[in-house]
Amino acid sequence: MPIQPRTLQGFRDYLPATAMPREWIVDTAKRVYRSYGFRPIDTPALEYLEILTGKGSDETDKQLYSFQDQGGRDVGLRFDLTVPLARFVAQHAQEVGLPFKRYHIATVWRGERPQAGRYREFMQCDFDTVGTTALTADIEMVLVVCDLMTALGIDAFTVRVNHRAVLNGLLDKLGLAGKSAAVLRALDKLGKIGPDGVTAELANTAETTAEQTAALLALAGLEGDNDAILAELKTLVAGNTTGERGVSELHELLTAVAAAGVAAGRVRLDPSIARGLDYYTGVVIETQLDELPDFGSVASGGRYDNLASTFTKQELPGVGASLGLDRLLAALEKLDRLPAVSTPADALVCLFDAERRDAYLALAAQLRAAGVGVEVYPEAKKLGKQLQYANKQGFAAAVIIGGNEFDGGEAQVKHLATGDSATVPYDGRDAGAIAAEIRTARDAE
Amino acid sequence: MPIQPRTLQGFRDYLPATAMPREWIVDTAKRVYRSYGFRPIDTPALEYLEILTGKGSDETDKQLYSFQDQGGRDVGLRFDLTVPLARFVAQHAQEVGLPFKRYHIATVWRGERPQAGRYREFMQCDFDTVGTTALTADIEMVLVVCDLMTALGIDAFTVRVNHRAVLNGLLDKLGLAGKSAAVLRALDKLGKIGPDGVTAELANTAETTAEQTAALLALAGLEGDNDAILAELKTLVAGNTTGERGVSELHELLTAVAAAGVAAGRVRLDPSIARGLDYYTGVVIETQLDELPDFGSVASGGRYDNLASTFTKQELPGVGASLGLDRLLAALEKLDRLPAVSTPADALVCLFDAERRDAYLALAAQLRAAGVGVEVYPEAKKLGKQLQYANKQGFAAAVIIGGNEFDGGEAQVKHLATGDSATVPYDGRDAGAIAAEIRTARDAE
């Protein structure tokens, strides 16, 4: 009895048609992160359990994949890249030096109840600057996200920005400072459950008065251009130092990103954004695709005061964000921006004649040397079968050279999208004309 | 009491200075694999335990990280990428189509006893062609390894090739067909334990006669150029169909790789190579760095008849190899081929004057648009401190613009390797001259 080949619930295989755009997104993120001097690191998937527990929420504790290893140690699979970063910086701060700018693109695991679009294993693409309180790093976070979206070919996006100090300042003024966690959790749901839902939750979990609720909803509901919202916020937090610092930093940030060339309208103040996580203390951002406003944020993050307090007495303030790789992949799929291609090579070299296999392999080597990726069909099957394979995989072109053509010094390059063929010269040594024709086919797609 | 920040025994953090060349090797491997039409896939780190057990050796079974998940399922962390490939192809053959060329670069886990240079978590970089018996795919495996070494800047390497049918043919002739596993395991150790050690092990585990041992050692000890060894092999296996097929395929393979442009001497017959794994049935290869002959193979693989017999009745022959990423990294380190650099950006833009932060950020954006990666120091600390940071991280250049220079329309670009500075024009908008000077500094390194 064969064993049934299957994956665990909540886990998935990535077939080439999905793995290719996923790799492209990751490579693009790396390129942008690197252009800002963020450096790659990697940490183990498995950590001592005590490193991981109690660091996220009760929920992440429950979702932890944990077990005893062969040596009887309690271990767990990382559920995010922030806790490993905290452990890493506490352990290696001296060696890596501060400020420490790192990116980390790796898999994490959470035993969540599986639901549509949610997996128990997913990839995170984080970047952080640790060891500085300077707003420069917050500004850069926004610039990185803008560059990243642009590099991914996304023109219509909005980075929504808020500041926890503004929220905290207002909570202070409203006498709600002690209930900030419950209040922010409720406000964070405004987009999902609407003002009535938030009102109910506020009454329920934070026992706010009608007046307090109204003030909170007024804040979260502020609309208009950045200048108008800034002016309103200034009035709302007036007299509260924390709130005033928040407003002033938001103002600085907006001025700076404009100076760095970000188009007006790309970055917008949105006082309703809180980012539920308790550890955020300053600027917070979310990134919305304008064509898919209900899709949720595809890049989110913020500033925190102390990354690694459970591991070290050294205060490690920082700021960073995470690209939602799988959500973005789903979005690009929905927007029909992903090519239906399953091969990274441009052309299939058909094996017309088994006797000439070495000549086809030599041609393929010449084409690769000319910068064109090609696959050689391994067997001399019927041409129709090879072309069927080429179409299924999504090659741009097929190179066909039969015995006569070899002798006649020419090759056929079939453009698979149109079915047209071009005949180009090929003397067995110089594949330049074939390479050029393949490029034409590829660029026409 | 803070929790001690530490990693599990046998696991390691990759700091930027190591993570950067590691990423470079992975990216290079991807590029080469893709140029042959190998397509990326990914599979879950966790699999049903029954998928993983009994697939490698008793040893891999013992080394498995396995546990019960929250749903009471027996699960395990993959210990290689071959078993997941077998499961994947059995599950998705219809969808992906055959022949299926895939690469898979991912982490695997083995609870081995930790020893120098061996980790419990490591990355594998595999490529395979599944679903064809054609020698084209075997030849390509060798070509891929040659291209990969060259792309990694390694000039002195040797791909050692053998064929299991040659070994099996000879064992047949020697009356040792039933003991092939024990014999091949012993022969595989020739490089490590020498002829005397192999003689002892053969007597011990395969109970070979003196005559048999002598014949086996004569085979494994064959030396000379490929033609000479081929002639000897032909004589040794004469009359045995299996052995003769092996010799003929080796001959074809050597002719083909030469035709595809691989320099003479790069690919050498080595009858001592067996590759212990039982499932190899045809061509087998190992790759040796000529400057580090004792370092072991950095890329190994071979042909197998049936990849996924435990998951499907469909016969899935294939051929593939694996790049030894971490061994290669260690080798390049030993050969002093890795730059002592901890940052992917070319230059540090010093923040000379906090009041002008936005101007520095704008300059950085201009430099990135000109294709130069730069990091902006986040705080206006003393210049000496910023330059110390720049030197520690290994930037090629530092861009220094004080207030006077801003007003005077110029910038200083300090070449950090030499300490020399160049003054170039900068009007606040066109950073072309600064970018060019940074490139000069980078390319001089």
Instruction: Report whether pLDDT(A1) > 70.
Output: no
Chain B residues closer than 8 Å to A366 by CB: 261
The string of pLDDT tens digits covering residues A126-139 is 999 999 999 999 99
On whether the CB atoms of residues A326 and A119 are closer than 8 A, the answer is yes
Q: Given CB atoms, is B20 within the 8 Å cutoff of chain A?
A: yes
The H or E element that residue A408 is part of is helix A403-408
Give the tokens for residue A68.
């005893």
B-chain residue closest to A260, CA distance: B362
- Averaged pLDDT for residues B209-219: 90
**In this prediction, what percent of chain A has a pLDDT beyond 90?**
76
Mean pLDDT of chain A: 93
Selected for mutation to probe chain A from B6, B85, B113, B121 (highest A CB count within 10 Å) is B6
The string of pLDDT tens digits covering residues A174-221 is 999 888 888 888 888 887 888 999 999 999 998 999 999 998 888 888
Chain B: closest CA distance from residue A211 (Å)? 40
DSSP per position, B283-326: EEEEEEETT-GGG--SEEEEEES-S-TTT-SS---EEEEEE-HH
pLDDT, position B121: 95
Instruction: Report whether pLDDT(B1) > 70.
Output: no
Q: How far is CA A142 from CA A128, A136, A138, A159, B260, in A?
A: 12, 10, 7, 7, 49
- Averaged pLDDT for residues B16-40: 96
CA dihedral A254, A260, A261, A266 (to 10 degrees): -30
The confidence band for B277, taking pLDDT boundaries of 50, 70 and 90, is low
Q: Do A13 and B95 touch (CB under 8 A)?
A: no
Q: Do B13 and A41 touch (CB under 8 A)?
A: yes
pLDDT, position B294: 84
Q: Given CB atoms, is B263 within the 8 Å cutoff of chain A?
A: no
Mean pLDDT of chain B: 93
pLDDT, position B368: 97
Q: What is the CATH number of domain A16-334?
A: 3.30.930.10
Backbone angles phi, psi at B102, to 5 degrees: -130, 150
Q: In chain B, which among 167-186 make CB contacts under 8 A with chain A?
A: none
Instruction: Report whether pLDDT(A56) > 80.
Output: no
The string of pLDDT tens digits covering residues A355-367 is 999 999 999 999 9
- Averaged pLDDT for residues A89-105: 95
Chain A: closest CA distance from residue B13 (Å)? 5
Q: Which of A7, A34, A393 sits opposite B344 (nearest CB)?
A: A34
Q: Given CB atoms, is B113 within the 8 Å cutoff of chain A?
A: no
Instruction: Report whether pLDDT(A116) > 80.
Output: no
B271 DSSP assignment: T
Q: What is the CATH number of domain A347-443?
A: 3.40.50.800
pLDDT, position A24: 94
Backbone angles phi, psi at B182, to 5 degrees: -65, -40
Q: Which of A261, A358, A376 sits opposite B362 (nearest CB)?
A: A261
Q: Which CATH number fits domain B347-444: 3.40.1390.10, 3.40.50.800, 3.40.630.40, 2.60.40.10?
A: 3.40.50.800
Give the separation between CA B361 and CA B359, rounded to whole angstroms.
5
Chain B: closest CA distance from residue A213 (Å)? 38
The confidence band for A342, taking pLDDT boundaries of 50, 70 and 90, is confident
pLDDT, position B134: 97
The string of pLDDT tens digits covering residues A272-323 is 887 766 789 999 999 999 999 888 899 999 999 888 889 999 999 999 999 9
- Averaged pLDDT for residues B407-427: 95
- Is the confidence metric ipTM above 0.90 for this complex? yes
Provide the residue ranges of all domains of chain B, joining segments of one domain with +.
16-334, 347-444
Instruction: Report whether pLDDT(B80) > 70.
Output: yes
pLDDT, position A277: 63
The string of pLDDT tens digits covering residues B36-69 is 999 999 999 999 999 999 776 778 788 999 999 9
Selected for mutation to probe chain B from A9, A12, A15 (highest B CB count within 10 Å) is A15
The confidence band for B200, taking pLDDT boundaries of 50, 70 and 90, is very high
On whether the CB atoms of residues A374 and A441 are closer than 8 A, the answer is no
pLDDT, position A118: 79
Taking each helix axis from N to C end, the angle separating A180-187 and A210-220, rounded to the nearest 10 degrees, works out to 50
The confidence band for A61, taking pLDDT boundaries of 50, 70 and 90, is confident
